[in-house]
Amino acid sequence: MKTFYIETFGCQMNAHDSEKVVGTLVTEGYQQVETAEEAELVFYNTCSIRDKAEQKVFNRLQQFKKDSKGKTFAVLGCVAQQEGEKIFEKAPHVSMVCGSASYNKLPQMLVQLEAGNKRVTGLSLDTEDTFETPMTRRDNPHRAYITIIEGCDKSCAYCVVPFTRGPERSRTSASVIAESRQLAEMGYSEIMLLGQNVNSYRDPSPAAWDFATLLDAVGRVEGIRRVRFTTSHPRDFVRPIIEAIATNPSLCNHVHLPVQSGSSRVLEAMRRSYTREEYMQRIAWMKASPRAIAITTDVIVGFPGETEEDFRATLALLDEVEYDSVFSFKYSRRPNTHALALEDQIPEEEKSRRLAVLQEHQRQIQIRRNADYVGRVEECLVEGFNKATVQWIGRTSQHKTLNFVHAGSEDLLGRYVDVRVTRSGPNSLAGEYAH
């Protein structure tokens, strides 16, 4: 049993966890292969944020139900933590169920599997541990993820994360800075700081840095040209973060600040611990920044009890903020959560209608916003090349995709270039190489 395959669902935290899991497996002598069919050990790193995401892993497992000979299946991540040993009942060919708070125990668990153990679990949430490993297999050659805080201490009424990722645990600032330096030496120029709520980062060492201090320090590491972070919680989003972005050019001028709803009444039912007005205060700080900051958000439509008036308040908020991009979702009932018991669930068709209305509304805002970029010159990190359109794919500091043409024949991949924006659409910009 020495080859493995891993498939990852869900957020960037999960993507990065998988990179660390791969590093751990390779250190233990396993070899990664490209398909589940050829692997002896099959890992699914799962997401349970919405019901649809959760179903994906069971669909995958179903494919192998009849023909799982010679294979060992492991379910990792949020579905593993949420469903626990019930997964063995639903899918008897699974041998390992392990949540993210137990990844430090993976080497031990692998030994148990190798010894022929058919039911291995790592489900404790009662932990102070963070998952730090010297060997991380990173997928992207330019941008590297660094986890700074794991878990979540909030209790939003709709959200599984506090149940799947456990309580908040921050890494020491020294270890984050050391990893940033190491990444810079390896040639990475962009770092993305990760956490369920990066704003509540609190250095456990005596230095006791807060998030803004850590962010600024990572931006000062030699060789690091761009620092991003996700995700933020409006309640803990304080002014020093905006001041750091305004004064430190290595910090990308983009903030993802999930609002979830534009109605204070719904926000209260969601237990978000801020009002619409408090949220808009944070937006006002950002809009007043001398360095223009792109703002993106997450919205849930159809939370139990959301009226047409509440929904209209969310649309009005989109107009007021003029987000650069919005991730929008239909409310999905999740196990263990407070909202599960709420009455006045919104019918599925009505949720779909609100989602479509909201997305079209936001599309128009993005068309207007992106049109403002035409004529400007933007610095891009070149992330890819599109053979079909013969265009390079660039990414601006504000996290916009900027596709551009370049007459020269040199390889621009991984380089920072200036691009003149000539056209715009709702989801991207297009332009020409400037220099």
Task: Name the residues that contact ligand SF4, by CB under 6 A.
Answer: 10-11, 13-14, 47-49, 77-78, 160-161, 164-165
Tokens representing 426 are: 């709702």
Q: Which residue is nearest to ligand SF4 (CB)?
A: 10
Decide which of ligand SF4, ligand 5AD, none touches 261; Cβ closer than 5 to 8 Å per partner kind.
Answer: none
Q: What, of ligand 5AD, ligand SF4, none, does residue 78 touch, CB below 5 to 8 Å by kind?
A: ligand SF4
Interaction of residue 260 with ligand 5AD, rule CB under 6 A: yes
Contact 56, 25 (CB under 8 A): no
319: enclosing H helix or E strand: helix 308-321
Alpha-carbon separation of residue 82 from 158, 194, 432 (angstroms)? 14, 22, 48
Q: Counting contacts by CB under 6 A, is residue 331 touching ligand 5AD?
A: yes
**Considering the rule CB under 6 A, would residue 158 count as an interface residue with ligand 5AD?**
yes
Please identify, among the stretches 138-146, 212-220, 304-312, 326-334, the one whose residues bind ligand 5AD according to the rule CB under 6 A.
326-334
Per-position DSSP letters for 146-192, written without gaps between them: EE-EES-----TT--HHHHH-S-EEPPHHHHHHHHHHHHHHT--EEE
Query: Is 166 or 431 the residue whose CB approaches ligand SF4 more closely?
Result: 166
Spatial contact of 390 and 365, defined as CB atoms under 8 Å apart: no
**Which lies closer to ligand SF4 via its Cβ, residue 78 or residue 251?**
78
Which residue number, 56 or 181, has a Cβ lying nearer to ligand SF4? Answer: 56
By the rule CB under 6 A, 298 interacts with ligand 5AD? yes
The answer to whether residue 251 forms part of the interface with ligand 5AD (CB under 6 A) is no
Measured CA to CA, the distance from residue 351 to residue 228 in angstroms comes to 32
Tokens of 322: 């003029």
- Report residue 25 as tokens: 């497996």
**Which among 179, 76, 170 has a CA at the least distance from the CA of 130?**
170
- What secondary structure does DSSP assign to 272-300, as a single string? -S--HHHHHHHHHHHHT-SS--EEEEEEE
> What, of ligand 5AD, ligand SF4, none, does residue 166 touch, CB below 5 to 8 Å by kind?
none
Nearer to ligand SF4, 12 or 172 (CB): 12
Nearer to ligand SF4, 101 or 244 (CB): 101
Q: How far apart are CA 12 and CA 18, in angstroms?
A: 10
Helix axes 276-287, 239-247, angle to 10 degrees: 20
Is residue 236 part of the contact set for ligand 5AD (CB under 6 A)? no
Establish if 262 lies at the interface with ligand 5AD (CB under 6 A): no
Nearer residue to ligand 5AD within complex by CB, 109 or 339: 339
61 in contact with ligand 5AD (CB under 6 A): no
Choice between 81 and 332, CB closer to ligand 5AD: 332
